[in-house]
């Protein structure tokens, strides 16, 4: 593929919060965009790190040790595997995620958002 991926255009195709959309594949990983509003639930990814790049807005990530990591546009944070966390966005935030294909966004396949490719 020789066409750049326009992340803003892809984000404009949906409104649902906490429902990542795969926009590309990278070495067995999904490159995804998502819109976030409000609080997500506490969860953990036992076997994978959780990569967050904020494209727009502000994202807070509460960690199990009581700390909160605050990110604004252009900032990245990686939650290490096995660390319980809760992402939240008071106002709508747009993010880019990179995860091994098949990783449940909730940490649990039973409660994960379905994989959607756009």
Kindly state the average pLDDT of the residues 93-104.
89
pLDDT band of residue 112 (cuts 50, 70, 90) is low
Asked whether the predicted pLDDT for residue 100 surpasses 80, the reply is yes
Tell me, letter by letter, the H, E, C secondary structure of the chain. Answer: CCCCCCHHHHHCCCCCECCCEEEEEECCEEEEEEEEEEECCCECCCCCCEEEEEEECEEEEEECCCCEEEEECCCEEEECCCCCEEEEEEEEEEEEEEEECCCCCCCCCCCCCCCCEC
pLDDT band of residue 108 (cuts 50, 70, 90) is low
pLDDT for residue 110: 63
Q: What is the pLDDT of residues 42-83, one digit of tens each?
A: 999 999 999 999 999 999 999 999 999 999 999 999 999 999
Domain ranges for the chain: 7-105
Rounded CA gap, 10 and 41, in Å?
Answer: 25
pLDDT for residue 101: 87
Average pLDDT, the chain: 91
CATH no., domain 7-105:
2.60.120.10
Under 8 Å between Cβ of 114 and 85:
no
Beta bridge partners of 11: none
pLDDT for residue 2: 85
């Amino acid at each position: 593929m020789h066409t750049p991926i326009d992340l803003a255009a892809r984000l404009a195709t949906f409104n649902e919060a906490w429902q990542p959309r795969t926009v590309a594949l990278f070495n067995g990983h999904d490159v995804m965009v998502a819109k976030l509003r409000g609080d997500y639930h506490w969860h953990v990814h036992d076997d994978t790190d959780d990569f967050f790049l904020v494209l727009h807005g502000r994202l807070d990530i509460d960690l199990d040790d009581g700390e909160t990591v605050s990110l604004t546009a252009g900032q990245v944070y990686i939650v290490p595997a096995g660390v319980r966390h809760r992402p939240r966005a008071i106002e709508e935030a747009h993010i880019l995620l990179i995860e091994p294909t098949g990783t449940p966004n909730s940490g649990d396949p039973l409660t994960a958002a379905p994989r959607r490719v756009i």
